[in-house]
């Protein structure tokens, strides 16, 4: 699959399909994010849950999408020390326990230290705030992926 054909959303083709069924505004990012914002709370949670954990099992067993693999590598998540891996694993577990979905951040806009700091800080958020933050971060990921496809 080429960059131009790569899905914008992780395992959530329904977002692009719904955007394609609507009249276009001429701004693909706005169109697909309108679908996300118009989705039901359950659909939004499904979209969030479709994302892999950072430096998680999918990275180890190589089941990440090509886009996620490249994005995680850009932040150095494919080159973690054992201590860094353990820290990511502990924070991923704490985050999933608290929110029941994976931590999402646009890794291309930060680095390992920034990701770890954000994970620690965001553990203090409310569930509602974290859903909004995850959707905002997904929007940033999608904007970069659209730029890659251009």
* Residues with a known catalytic role: 51
Query: What is d(CA 46, CA 44) in angstroms, rounded to the nearest whole number?
Result: 5
> 79: helix, coil or strand?
coil
Closest CA to 68 of 141, 133, 4, 117: 141
CB neighbours of residue 2 within 10 Å: 7
> 134: helix, coil or strand?
helix
């Amino acid at each position: 699959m080429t960059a131009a054909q790569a899905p914008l959303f992780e395992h959530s083709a329904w977002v692009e399909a719904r955007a394609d069924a609507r009249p276009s505004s001429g701004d693909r990012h706005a169109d697909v994010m309108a679908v996300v914002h118009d989705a039901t709370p359950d659909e939004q949670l499904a979209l969030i849950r479709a994302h892999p954990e950072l430096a998680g099992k999918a990275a180890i067993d190589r089941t990440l999408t090509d886009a996620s693999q490249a994005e995680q590598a850009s932040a150095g998540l494919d080159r973690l020390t054992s201590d860094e891996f353990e820290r990511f694993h502990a924070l991923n577990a704490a985050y999933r326990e608290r929110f029941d979905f994976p931590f999402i951040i646009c890794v291309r806009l930060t680095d390992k230290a920034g990701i770890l700091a954000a994970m620690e800080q965001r553990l203090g958020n409310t569930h509602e705030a974290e859903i909004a933050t995850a959707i905002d971060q997904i929007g940033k990921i999608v904007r970069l992926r659209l730029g890659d496809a251009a």
